[in-house]
Amino acid sequence: MHVNFQKTCYLLSGLCLVLGGCSSTPYNRMMITDYRSGGQAAEHYEDFTDAYYRLANDGTADIILRKSAPLPQDPRAQLQQIVHLRAVWKPFPGRTHAESSMINTQICYAIISTTMAVSYEGGGFMDYSPKTFSDVVVGKLEAGDLQPTRRSGAGLDIFNTARISGHYRVTRDDRKVTRLINEINRALGDPPRYEPDRSAPVF
């Protein structure tokens, strides 16, 4: 059974999980499998309320999912969860040998409050298809691996090594994507350097 998680506490109490069941897999839900020591694994999910994308001239696609909620101990403060997916090329069925074991996407899962920030980052495989005559894009993150990477303040490790996947439905908004990427980098510093394989076809 999958369970829902929300990070609602920080500082001395750490970040907590609120658990509940689920029966469907809607758009903008990310599934997390958290692998702990001893071979144990726990399944979680999070539903994101804001979903945007931008597409660069070179074919690089940035997808942002965001959720913000007030902290229980201080309703004036917000805790943000932001997933940033950067796809460096798009697989074309029949033209590339694209499989879910390949990597075409940088992944950053950032958790940010006014006093702490932590990111879980890695690579994965993503495919999506723009709808004709629409600014809406639907797609799927097939799978991606995450590890704690950047932190600031009292940031704590929520996951150890984790795997992320999920479907999304995003609208085009270049300005909001740029603002939220900048917000992650202001809170956590520059992202790890990554050089994509440009030999594959782009969008």
Report the sign of the C-alpha dihedral through residues 169, 143, 117, 111, in that order: positive
* pLDDT tens by residue, the chain, 203 residues: 333 334 333 332 333 343 444 445 789 999 999 887 677 888 888 999 999 999 887 778 899 999 998 877 777 778 899 999 998 766 555 555 555 567 789 999 999 988 889 999 999 998 766 555 478 888 899 989 999 889 888 766 777 789 999 999 999 999 999 999 999 999 998 887 765 444 444 43
CB contact at 8 A, 161 and 56: no
Rounded CA-CA distance 58/107 in Å is: 19
Tell me, what's the pLDDT at 82?
96
Each domain of the chain, given as residue ranges in start order, spans 11-188
Tokens 């805790």 belong to 79
Neighbouring-strand partners of residue 43: 33
> Tokens 């069941």 map to which residue?
21
The CB-based long-range contact list for 49-53 (8 Å cut-off, 24+ gap) reads: 50/176, 51/27, 51/168, 51/169, 51/170, 51/171, 52/170, 52/171, 52/172, 52/173, 52/176, 52/177, 52/180, 53/137, 53/170, 53/171, 53/172, 53/173, 53/177
Per-residue pLDDT at 30: 94
| Per-residue model confidence (pLDDT) at position 65 | 97
Can you tell me the distance from the alpha carbon of 105 to that of 180, in angstroms, rounded to the nearest whole number? 18
Nearest to 126 by CA among 87, 93, 96: 87
Summarize pLDDT for 67-91 with one digit per residue, the tens.
998 877 777 778 899 999 998 766 5
Closest CA to 201 of 112, 66, 94, 118: 94
